[in-house]
Amino acid sequence: MLRILLILFMVLLFPAASFAAGWNNYWVNGWHDDHSNYDVYNLSPANEKVKDRTVILHNLDQDEWVLLEERVQSLWQPNEPNDVKFPEAWVLEKGKAFNPYENYYYDIDNNRLILGKQYNNSPNEKWGIQYNEYYDSKSKIKSFLLKNLENGTIEEWLTTRNSTWYYWLPDNTVLFCTYSQNEKQNVIYVFYPETKKYEKLVSGSLDAYARDKNQILFTKNEPTRQTWVMDLATRMEKQEMNRTRFYPTPDDAAKVPLLPGDLNIDSLRVVAPEKSVQYEHQIGIGDQVIPVPYIFQRENQEFIPLRPLMEPFDIKININQLDSNVKEYQVSYQEKKFTLLEGEYINYRWQLFVTSEVLKKIGLREFTIKPIN
């Protein structure tokens, strides 16, 4: 019984088309990257005979095995519903562990480590969704940013403290499920990026989405908690007895073979990725043009990251910890010094963003904001 439970745990822990197993004193998590047609192997020590983590790549097109340089500790397989293009990378910088303030992604085809965030793009490549988490004085907030990939504008279209799942649909709308404060229950919606409108599908919990059939599996909010299927093209519902057809089978893991037993790690070519920073906007102030990670809108108010402006303009920030959950931010620039008021800032993903009114308050009254393609 214990063996069965362990197998079930491993199946749940690793996504389909991946595996975890022992190999030559290493514990290996292997998975296939569809975008690059590489097999990826994350190796970590299984005993005292080896000490280092490492990443091995197998180029299936050229049947070549390579070793990523040691600062890249592992590559994480993108999971549905956040089907982004590049795997996230665990990178050691200057001997320190992974920095939670920075996300690296690895472009395998172009051998680039990208410092920034990715978007889960709509089928027509016009819209992208970026998921973030941050904390206010109460608890963790789940935030979804929507980017117009044609003009570069980014807005926060959804915030919630509850678990939320989403999928891009074939018609470039967003299927998502979250807790409704009005209904006091989970609700499944469709969001229309073009109009920013919402359509309620049904009161219930989203269990799965079958992309090939454009159907959802859901549990209705009713005493019997029955499982239903809805065809999203017709909005027709019917009860579903066979839930398993909506989930990938463990057999998919066979697509990624275990590393060859005679593979010699020390003989592999070492690949050193190029490092780049992803900027999405730039601010023009006077004769200076300063790239910033991104600028987003919340309720038609722009929020701008302050840290990139601190060194060019000698802006200083003093942080006072008022209690365990509340900070006070004092901003100093030249002869001006003031405390940021509620609504003038947000500590978004451990970064201080301020409104455009704060920049004017500082004295930077004339500035331009442009997207970076």
Indicate the burial class of 340 (C-beta count within 10 angstroms; 0-12, 13-18, 19 or more): buried
Q: Are residues 65 and 134 in the same domain?
A: no
pLDDT value of position 8: 34
Task: Give the per-residue pLDDT at 247.
Answer: 79
Report the alpha-carbon distance of residue 27 to residue 20 in Å, rounded.
7
Let me know whether 70 and 98 are in one domain: yes
Model pLDDT, residue 19: 83
Same domain for 196 and 256:
no
List beta partners, residue 291.
Answer: 282
Average pLDDT over residues 251-272: 85
* Percentage, residues of the chain above pLDDT 90: 68
What 8-state DSSP symbol labels residue 257? P
Average pLDDT over residues 225-241: 92
Is residue 11 pLDDT above 50, yes or no?
Answer: no
Each residue's pLDDT tens digit, 102-137: 689 999 999 999 998 899 999 999 999 999 988 877
Same-domain check for residues 54 and 9: yes
H or E element that contains 9: helix 2-13
Whose tokens are 């910088």? That residue is 93
- The residue segments making up the domain with residue 355 are 280-371
pLDDT band at 99 (very low <50, low <70, confident <90, very high): low
What pLDDT was estimated at residue 81? 52
| Whether residue 231 is found in the same domain as residue 179 | yes
- 5 has pLDDT over 50: no
Q: What is the pLDDT of residue 253?
A: 46
**Among 229, 241, 359, 257, CA closest to 303:** 359
How many independent structural domains does the chain possess? 3
In angstroms, the CA 315 to CA 325 distance is 25
Asked if 236 and 287 sit in the same domain, the reply is no
pLDDT digits (tens, 9 = 90+) for 172-219: 999 999 999 999 999 999 999 999 999 999 999 999 999 889 999 999
Given a cut of 50, is residue 7 above it in pLDDT? Answer: no
Q: Are 137 and 72 within one domain? A: no
Q: In terms of pLDDT, which residue wins out, 4 or 110?
A: 110
Does residue 179 share a domain with residue 74? Answer: no
Assess whether pLDDT exceeds 70 at residue 92: yes
Residue 153 sits in a domain whose CATH number is 2.120.10.30
Is residue 59 within 8 Å of residue 66, measured between CB atoms? Answer: yes
Q: Which residue has the higher pLDDT, 2 or 363?
A: 363
Q: Smallest Cα–Cα separation from 109: which of 276, 270, 259, 273? A: 273
Going across the sheet that includes 174-180, the strands are 165-168, 174-180, 185-192, 197-210, 215-220, 227-231, 236-239
The CA distance from 145 to 139, in Å, is: 19
Residue burial 230-249, b: 16+ Cβ < 10 Å; e: rest: bebeeeebeebeeeeebeee
Same domain, 26 and 168: no
Does one domain contain both 82 and 148? no
pLDDT (0 to 100) of residue 78 = 84
Inform me whether the pLDDT recorded for 4 exceeds 90.
no
Position 246 pLDDT exceeds 90: no
Q: Give the pLDDT of residue 170.
A: 95
Q: How far apart are the first and last CA of the chain?
A: 55
Return the pLDDT at 250: 58
Query: What integer is the mean pLDDT of 309-329?
Result: 87
> What local confidence, expressed as pLDDT, does residue 251 receive?
55
Residues 169 and 55 in one domain: no
169 and 196, same domain (yes or no): yes
Phi, psi of 113 (to 5 degrees): -95, 120
How much is the pTM? 0.85
